[in-house]
Structure 1
Amino acid sequence: MRFLSWLFRAAVFFVLFAFALNNQHEAQLKWFFGFEFRAPMVLMVLVVFAAGAVFGVLAMTPNWWRQRRRLPGKPLATATAPANPAAMPASAVPVVPDVPLSPPSRDGI
């Protein structure tokens, strides 16, 4: 599985690298009042992508702050267990299978 993950990453890298090599010609961006900016096309695409990512994070920031203010000090997921598990009815006791769990892989997949 790890080999396939690295193979996919390499394929994406080479596709993006080929895109950059095919778009080395100079492009110009015309602004107001006669201002003109010239740069390679791949650089312009990279700058626009980065600006979009920054804009997306900044647009989500107020919502993150609002959510953090609503739950100060509360953990995100808490499971409440009964004080005396023997007092629970038999139907409420979870059944745990006897199958051992496999250890997680090193890359988290």
Structure 2
Amino acid sequence: MQALAWFFRIAIVLVLAWFALKNSHLVDLHGLPEQSVQAPLVFVVLVAFIVGVVIGLLAWLPTVVRNRREIARLRRSPPAAPPQAPAPAPAPPTDAHGV
């Protein structure tokens, strides 16, 4: 199973390296008026990916903090008493004559 995982990791690295080599030409990045910068396309894609990951992690962070606080609160609180089973229903009366 680990060999399969390593195979996929190596395949992904090779595909990314091939992508970087094929997209090494320069592109113009236009920012403020009268401002333009040239950068390799692979660098632009990498920066956009990293910015997306950072934004996603920052959006996910409040949920993680809220869940950790809830877990800590639940660990500090005393355990709840287990629910008690209802009392068994009384047995129906039996008639001595079988009627």
What is the TM-score of this pair, normalised by structure 1? 0.62
Give me the whole-angstrom Cα distance separating, in 2, the residues matched to 1:3 and 1:71. Answer: 37
Change over 3 Å in CA distance of 1:67–1:4 after alignment to 2: closer
Give me the whole-angstrom Cα distance separating, in 2, the residues matched to 1:27 and 1:19. Answer: 16
Q: C-alpha offsets along residues 46-68 of structure 1, whole Å, 9 cap, x if unaligned?
A: 00000000000001112222223
Question: Percent sequence identity over matched residues?
Answer: 40
Q: C-alpha offsets along residues 69-109 of structure 1, whole Å, 9 cap, x if unaligned?
A: 3332435xxxxxxxxxxxxxxxxxxxxxxxxxxxxxxxxxx
User: Residue in 1 aligned with 2:94?
Assistant: none
Q: What residue ranges of structure 2 are gaps of 5+ in the alignment?
A: 76-99
Q: Secondary structure of 1:44's partner?
A: helix
Give me the whole-angstrom Cα distance separating, in 1, the residues matched to 2:67 and 2:4. Answer: 38
**Structure 2 counterparts to residues 46-85 of structure 1, below 5 A:** 46-75=46-75
Q: CA deviation at 1:44?
A: 0.5
Alignment coverage as a number of residue pairs: 77
Q: CA deviation at 1:16?
A: 0.6
User: Residue in 2 aligned with 1:10?
Assistant: 10
Structure with max Cα Rg: 2
Structure 1 residue ranges (4+ consecutive) displaced by more than 3 angstroms after TM superposition: none
Give me the whole-angstrom Cα distance separating, in 1, the residues matched to 2:67 and 2:2. Answer: 36
**What amino acid does structure 2 have at the position aligned with 1:2?**
Q
Q: CA deviation at 1:32?
A: 2.3
Aligned alpha-carbon RMSD (Å): 2.1
